[in-house]
A and B are shown apart, each in its own frame.
Chain A
């Protein structure tokens, strides 16, 4: 029971905090009001040309970013290909394990050969 009560108290407290933040924001907005209105008026006076200019600027910025990203991605891909190649390339481990296999098999062959010879003699 006390659990539910404490939960309820927490919710109320949170609501109060939210209300307080909202109020502060509203007050700030009212304070900034005249300035924002002036800015909006200027933009309106500048007409649609200013808006399209801003849009073009944004598009240009985006394209610049895209070019940069493409270049970096290409570099990463190249590095990935190089890495893949170096991983696929046989290293010392493979070489020595192969030689070990060969010598081991030769040893087995020798063993069989010796046993046959011993049987004969």
Chain B
């Protein structure tokens, strides 16, 4: 799910670049230096995850994992996703350079929302953490599809039609990402629970 060059009108492309720039600056400011290795590892995972294709009838869709990035990185998620998308568009030719701002918003905002939601609903037990992970992982893809429809709406497409198609096409991805996020969260909860506290909230590292 990425927007190619020349799909969006120039004003929307420029506007989304501006919004993405502001979010990026805010996200960098919120990123603590001690969390950089974690950010780098999650960014690498996000960068590579788009190569995992899920066959779906005649076509195939690939993993997106904005929800998982948000869960693991919290406020730093936007930096991670913007960097990952930049490298994807440069090296894999996924999405266009001019649509990079729009693509960053499409993936980054769901990541931020998923991160905040996860922090507020995760609770203290393993079961609640896993359920929260599954919900946030699936929600990331749903939100990304909705933002995609909203962005394409500005280029003259019908909002409901695009949203329906995007959501239907990514329904398997929603399910798979919910499972992947739940598995990752349950593993981290047992092995390294402090990773689930969100980057900005990591206590006692100084």
Contact = CB atoms under 8 A, between A and B. Distances in A.
B43 A102 contact: yes
Given A90-B92, A105-B83, A113-B33, A95 B40 contact: no
A6 interface: no
Given A95-B51, A103-B40, A103-B44, A109 B83 contact: no
A117 interface: yes
Interface string B34-49: 1011011001100110
Contacts of B34: 113
B91 interface: yes
Contacts of B84: 102
Sort chain A's interface into a size bin: 10 to 19
A61 B20 CA distance: 65
Nearest to A93: B91
A53 interface: no
Q: Tell me the interface secondary structure of chain B in the complex.
A: helix
A101 B33 contact: no
Contacts of B36: 106, 109-110, 113
Given A88-B93, A94-B91, A98-B87, 12 more contacts: A90-B51, A90-B91, A90-B92, A94-B92, A98-B88, A98-B92, A99-B47, A106-B39, A106-B43, A113-B33, A113-B34, A117-B33
8 contacts: A95-B47, A95-B48, A98-B44, A101-B87, A103-B44, A105-B40, A105-B83, A113-B34
Interface of A: 88, 90, 94-95, 97-99, 101-103, 105-106, 109-110, 112-114, 116-117
